[in-house]
Every structure is written in C-alpha cells, then in structure tokens.
Amino acid sequence: MKHRMRRPWLDYLMLVLIFGLAISLRIRSALFRLPPDPGYYMFDDARHASFWKVFSYNSWEGYISVLPRLIAISTTPLPLTYTAIFASMITTLIWVFTAVVVFGVLRFLTKSMLLALLGSAMVVLVPSASESSIGNFGNAKWQLFILTTVISACPNLYIKFKWASVAIFLVSGLSNPLAIVAIIPLFAALKNKDSETSRISKILISFMAFTFALQVLAFRASGAHRVRPQIVRWRWGEFPIFWNFNFLFPTLLAALVMSIVVFSFFMGHKFMWIPMTIGATSLAIAGISYFQGGLADRYFVAPTVLSWLSTILLFHESSGITRAFTRTLLFATSSVFLIGSITWFQASSYLNSGPTWSSEIGRVRIECMQTDAEWVDVNLSLGSIEIRCEDT
C-alpha cells in the first residue's frame, strides 16, 4: 500500500529529472552565459533598486514584467560571477514545472500515460525555443502563458489548487499583458452547472482582468507604441526553414484542430470544448504577437506547445471517422515535431556564443582594480553591457 501511495511522487520526480536533463543538454553551453536580450539591467535593478522596482515599466518594454525581475532578485544573494548560471537554473526549473503540470493535466484528462508524455515533452523540446528562449530568464513568462492556459482548461485543477492558481494567474498577468488571452478556456467553464466551478472561474477571470487593466495603464504611461517599430513580416520564400516551420506549422495546426471540432459537431458529435479553446488560444496568441511584433522566435513557443496539446486532446475526445482522421494527424504531427526537435535541439549561437559570464566578470574585476573606473563593459554574445565595479 505504501509503495502504491509513493509511486505517483516517484513518477513525477522521474519526470523532473528527465525534463531537467533534456533542457540542460539543450543549453549546455548557454547555461554559463547571460542572454543579450534582456541583458543585465534587471540584475542591476535587483541589486541597487528597491523591491518595488519589480513592478516598473519602461518605454522600450511598455509593460510590467514581474517574472524575469523576480528571477533577477533571486540571484542577488550570490556573487556576481554566478548570476548567469543561477538565473539559467531557475529558468530551467520554471520550464520543468510547466512540463510536469502539463503532464498531470493531460494524464487526468486523457487517462493515458503515453498522451501525457507526448504533450509534456513538447514543453521542453519545442523546436522554436532553441533560438533565444530556452534558458533565457527574460522569456520565462511564455511558460507561464502555457501554464495559465492549461490550468484554465482543467476546472478540477484550479478548484483543488485555488490559491496556487490565483498566484500563477497574477504573476502571469503581471509579466505579460497577452496573458489575458490565456484564459479563453475559462469561458467554456462558465457554462458548467457546478456552482463551485463557475465561481472559481469568475474569480480567476477577474484577477486576470485586473492585471490586464494594470498593464494597459503601464503601457499608456510608458509612452511605448502599440506596434513594435521596424518589425519583420513574413514573406513566402524569403526565410530559412526554421522561421517558416515555427511560424506556419503551429498556426495551421491550431486552425485545423478548430476546423475538425466544428466539422465533427455538425456531423452530430459532441462539441469538444477543450481542444477548441486551447486551439483558439494558440491561434490568438500567434496572431496578436505577429501583429504587434512581427516574426520573433519567442512568439512561436507558446503557440507550438498549445497547438500540439489541442491535437492530443482532440484525438482523445474524438470518435468514429473523426478519431480515425485525428489518429493519422497525431502520428504525422508528432513525426514532424520530432524531426524539428532533433534538428533544432541545441540552443543556437544567439544564446551560447561569446565569452562566459564568469570569465568576463573575472576580466573586468582586474580592470576595476587597475583603474578608477566606476562602470566597465562586459561582453555578451551580441554587444556589451555596463556593470558597476562595486558589484564585481
């Protein structure tokens, strides 16, 4: 009996180790480097500004970004030399936590270990993350977007873990204004006759609406533009396969899943709300991100994961001829994603080129001792940043 009670915890511990190993292998060189975007300024704020700086905004971001700043704050007890490795480790834990939650939700919804593994593995193997996202503390907020969407789609989860769900929603909403889109699955829960489900759903929607209102106020106060200037738009035949695949495939997959749900409904089957709403979330975030920022690899991560989850859940809920078709779709899609994950497994040069952070801190520490400079330049993979000599 004790063995049976302990086994689920052992299963999740094994998942943590496997997913953590997968990410560590992907960023094995980037672990020791600070990503050029967002760079070092959040760490400098964490060391020298008050805690309330975590809720600040500026003209180039245009919105509050709490999660990356919290990661930066967590590194301040350590010497500056360990900033990059510690920030990477915390970011990796967030990715792993997201994958484990996705596994738990899929296991609950589908009762299938295989489908749960297929879905959660995408969180850590998503091909588009190799360019600038995986291990990058500045892009950890997209993992919260995935978490928020998955929690929204599973009433049993947010009813059982009310306060944890509220905390995730708050941090997600205060880290990314587009998190408001992640609650699309919650609106399907409002039709639930269970009063507790409806009540908690309304609470979560209210919290997300509150954070979105704060983001709008911050955006207006920052003076930032609604659409990022000098954005790159997609054109047929002008981009390498990495960009074509990660931009087009998840978008088309989400649209296909939604079309199948509608077709199946008109054929007399039940309306499959969960794959529909997760697919809609994937499509919405891809569309809004493209409109506001154009092509950027960090915008591909959440749509890819969510379109894949919607495909898995569509296969689970479908029946008859729809199930036969989605079985083929699931197999074909998993094959394509597997090839993409293998091809773009390791983090790109954007994340792993240039000197290590610790070597640069060692170099500038000597420079600070030999000169009277107050600020010194530290080289990153792209460009350089200034740090205070007193911090070295």
Give residue 335's pLDDT.
Answer: 95
Cβ atoms within 10 A of the Cβ of 332, count?
Answer: 11
- The residues that bridge with 385 in the sheet, in sequence order, are 378
Alpha helix ranges (H) inside the chain? 2-26, 41-48, 66-74, 83-110, 113-125, 141-152, 155-160, 162-173, 184-189, 195-222, 241-266, 273-293, 298-317, 320-343, 349-352, 357-370
Cβ atoms within 10 A of the Cβ of 251, count?
Answer: 19
pLDDT range class, residue 81, cuts 50, 70, 90: very high
pLDDT range class, residue 235, cuts 50, 70, 90: confident
Task: Say if residues 158 and 192 touch (Cβ distance below 8 Å).
Answer: no
Hey, CA dihedral for 198, 200, 201, 203, is it positive or negative? positive
Instruction: Write phi, then psi, for 154 (nearest 5 degrees).
Output: -130, 90
pLDDT range class, residue 193, cuts 50, 70, 90: low
Tell me the per-residue pLDDT of 91-116, one tens digit each, with 9 for 90 and over: 999 999 999 999 999 999 999 999 99
pLDDT range class, residue 371, cuts 50, 70, 90: confident
pLDDT range class, residue 148, cuts 50, 70, 90: very high
Q: Strand, helix or coil at 101?
A: helix
Hey, CA dihedral for 231, 236, 239, 242, is it positive or negative? positive
pLDDT range class, residue 249, cuts 50, 70, 90: very high
Strands 384-388 and 375-379: antiparallel
Looking at residue 86, its amino acid is F
Cβ atoms within 10 A of the Cβ of 157, count?
Answer: 18
Instruction: Write phi, then psi, for 384 (nearest 5 degrees).
Output: -150, 165
Q: How far apart are CA 380 and CA 213, in angstroms?
A: 36
Confidence check: pLDDT of 222 > 80: yes
Mean pLDDT calculated for residue range 354-358? 93
Q: How far apart are CA 119 and CA 26, in angstroms?
A: 18
Give residue 319's pLDDT.
Answer: 86
Confidence check: pLDDT of 4 > 60: no
Contacts of 152 (CB under 8 A, 6+ apart): 158, 182, 183, 184, 185, 186, 189, 204, 277
Alpha helix ranges (H) inside 267-297? 273-293
pLDDT range class, residue 58, cuts 50, 70, 90: confident
Q: What is the percentage of the chain residues whose pLDDT exceeds 70?
A: 97
Give residue 321's pLDDT.
Answer: 86
Instruction: Identify which has the larger pLDDT, 33 or 59.
Output: 33
Residue the block writes with tokens 């010194």:
376
Give residue 27's pLDDT.
Answer: 94
pLDDT range class, residue 190, cuts 50, 70, 90: confident
Poorest-pLDDT segment among 65-74, 221-230, 330-339, 347-356: 221-230
Across the chain, what does the average pLDDT equal? Answer: 91
Give residue 355's pLDDT.
Answer: 93
pLDDT range class, residue 2, cuts 50, 70, 90: very low
Task: Say if residues 370 and 47 touch (Cβ distance below 8 Å).
Answer: no
Confidence check: pLDDT of 1 > 50: no
Q: How far apart are CA 228 and CA 234, in angstroms?
A: 15
Confidence check: pLDDT of 128 > 90: yes
Mean pLDDT calculated for residue range 194-215? 90
pLDDT range class, residue 6, cuts 50, 70, 90: low
Of the candidates 94, 95, 87, which has an alpha carbon nearest to the alpha carbon of residue 124?
A: 95
Angle at 218 between CA 215 and CA 220, to 5 degrees: 110
CA 329 to chain centre: 25
Give residue 3's pLDDT.
Answer: 47
Give residue 252's pLDDT.
Answer: 96
Of the candidates 341, 332, 223, 242, which has an alpha carbon nearest to the alpha carbon of residue 295?
A: 242
Confidence check: pLDDT of 69 > 90: yes
